[in-house]
Amino acid sequence: MIEAPKTLFISELVPEALAKVERRMRAGTNRRAKGYDPSEEGFLGDDERLADVIERDEATLASLGVTPEAIADWLDALIGLAAQRERLLGDEVDGATGLVLGRFRVETDVYMGSQDCPFFYVETPRTGGGRYISSCGSGSTEHRIRDETTGASLFLTGLHPHLIRAHHFFEGATSYRLEPARAVEVLGLGEAAGEAPPLVSETVWELGSSSSEWTGALATHERNQRLRSEGIPREPLPGLIVWTSDDEGWMAAPIPVAIEEPLEVDGARLDPGVVFSGGAQLRRRTIERYADPMPPSVEQVREARRRAAASRAERGTP
């Protein structure tokens, strides 16, 4: 496979390459059979030139004292923080506790297929049939970011942060265009604005195969028997036992145990979850998360989970 560049600006493209990118951006042209499948609407208006669109948007942002990279960082951070909060709060993310940074509500729709970036797209035949696709970015989501204090909102795709950061491109005259000045206004950016919440590395225990029977077939698997005989047992919560050995672990709870806040187990974080009972394999890994300066409290998470459980019971769903 060909390695895709992290950034690619129009100043780096020769005229022939720039023309090829523009052709990929036109609505309804160069469908998959010809090597690229763009969005139905495309990325540019029929009479627009890519260079004109990018240069105009760069000039707008320069006059506002904001860089494209800063906007992309904030969009990624808000979307990432909202996803983290949804995993924590579940069905109750729509409440006030679901607001990111105390003011932004982020709604996300996920689609089955993905849309590749039109700036860099290469297909390479694969041995035995098929093909490798190299693109510098892709997206399969749509997002609406609303500032609940002002009512102002932005609509964008999951590809937008990449297009903005890697190519300084906010799209042309299409319904998916993100106006740079509007983004600055809604996000509250400017010369006095701080940096977006950063990504931080954390070591966590990731849940693997699980069983509702903590002494069942999964528990007697050779790997888990070895962990229970050689690993170090810990009881981070009453009734919850975790055996760990290097990067492997086994968690067991003979009776239901509510994991309501992060637990530190053998130097790695075990994330909060619903009431757990049975047995589960664990794997230690390092991940990146956005640092949340205003995370929900343990009480808020507990209340959100209580309401979610009551809602599921009302609907008759597990």
pLDDT digit string (tens) for 239-280?
A: 999 999 899 998 888 888 888 788 999 999 998 766 678 888
Tell whether 97 and 164 lie within a shared domain.
Answer: yes
Nearest alpha carbon to residue 267 among 242, 292, 288: 242
Q: Is the pLDDT of residue 163 over 50?
A: yes
Average pLDDT of the residues in 169-176: 94
306 occurs within a structural domain: no
**Distance from C-alpha of 160 to C-alpha of 142, rounded to nearest angstrom:** 9
Lowest-pLDDT range, 6-10, 48-52, 188-192, 240-244? 188-192
Percent of the chain with pLDDT strictly greater than 70: 85
Q: Which residue has the tokens 């950061």?
A: 165
Confidence of residue 165 (pLDDT cuts 50, 70, 90): very high
Domain count, the chain: 2
Highest mean pLDDT among 13-22, 54-63, 133-142: 54-63
- List, edge to edge, every strand of the sheet that includes 199-211: 232-237, 240-245, 248-258, 275-290, 199-211, 268-270, 263-265
DSSP assignment of 141-184:
EEEEEEETTT--EEEEETTHHHHHHHH----SSSTT---HHHHH
Tell whether 231 and 151 lie within a shared domain.
Answer: no
Tell whether 175 and 203 lie within a shared domain.
Answer: no
pLDDT digit string (tens) for 82-138?
A: 998 888 776 555 666 678 998 999 999 998 877 889 898 776 666 776 666 678 888
**Distance from C-alpha of 127 to C-alpha of 24, rounded to nearest angstrom:** 27
Q: Which pLDDT score, from 0 to 100, does residue 7 have?
A: 82
Largest distance between two CA atoms of the chain = 71
Tell whether 15 and 156 lie within a shared domain.
Answer: yes
**End-to-end alpha carbon distance in the chain:** 44
Q: What is the CA radius of gyration of the chain?
A: 24
Q: Which pLDDT score, from 0 to 100, does residue 49 have?
A: 94
Helix extents (H) in 65-147: 68-89
Q: Is the pLDDT of residue 237 over 70?
A: yes
The range of the structural domain enclosing residue 59 comes to: 10-187
Q: What is the mean pLDDT of the chain?
A: 85
pLDDT digit string (tens) for 71-83?
A: 999 999 999 999 9
Tell whether 88 and 236 lie within a shared domain.
Answer: no
pLDDT digit string (tens) for 137-146?
A: 888 999 999 9
Q: Is the pLDDT of residue 35 over 60?
A: no
CA atoms within 13 A on the CB side of 61: 23
Q: Which pLDDT score, from 0 to 100, does residue 37 have?
A: 55
Tell whether 130 and 17 lie within a shared domain.
Answer: yes
Lowest-pLDDT range, 165-179, 180-194, 195-209, 235-249? 180-194
Q: Is the pLDDT of residue 303 over 70?
A: yes
Q: Are the CB atoms for 240 and 250 separated by under 8 Å?
A: no
Last residue of a domain, one of 139, 164, 187: 187
Tell whether 85 and 162 lie within a shared domain.
Answer: yes
Q: Which pLDDT score, from 0 to 100, does residue 144 have?
A: 96
Tell whether 238 and 281 lie within a shared domain.
Answer: yes
| CB-based burial label for 73 (10 Å; 0-12, 13-18, 19+) | buried
pLDDT digit string (tens) for 106-116?
A: 999 998 877 88
Nearest alpha carbon to residue 237 among 215, 259, 254: 259
309 occurs within a structural domain: no
193 occurs within a structural domain: no
Within 10 angstroms of residue 211's Cβ, the number of other Cβ atoms is: 17
Tell whether 177 and 211 lie within a shared domain.
Answer: no
Q: What SS3 class is residue 255?
A: strand
50 occurs within a structural domain: yes
Average pLDDT of the residues in 189-198: 81
Q: Which pLDDT score, from 0 to 100, does residue 38 have?
A: 54
Average pLDDT of the residues in 56-70: 96
Q: What SS3 class is residue 312?
A: helix
Angle between the N-to-C axes of helices 50-64 and 15-25, in degrees from 0 to 180, rounded to the nearest 10: 90
Last residue of a domain, one of 187, 216, 231: 187
Q: In Å, what is the CA distance from 275 to each residue of 142, 251, 296?
A: 31, 13, 19
Tell whether 42 and 173 lie within a shared domain.
Answer: yes
Tell whether 144 and 241 lie within a shared domain.
Answer: no
Tell whether 40 and 166 lie within a shared domain.
Answer: yes
Q: Is the pLDDT of residue 29 over 60?
A: no
Lowest-pLDDT range, 70-79, 208-217, 284-293? 208-217
Q: Which pLDDT score, from 0 to 100, does residue 94 have?
A: 61
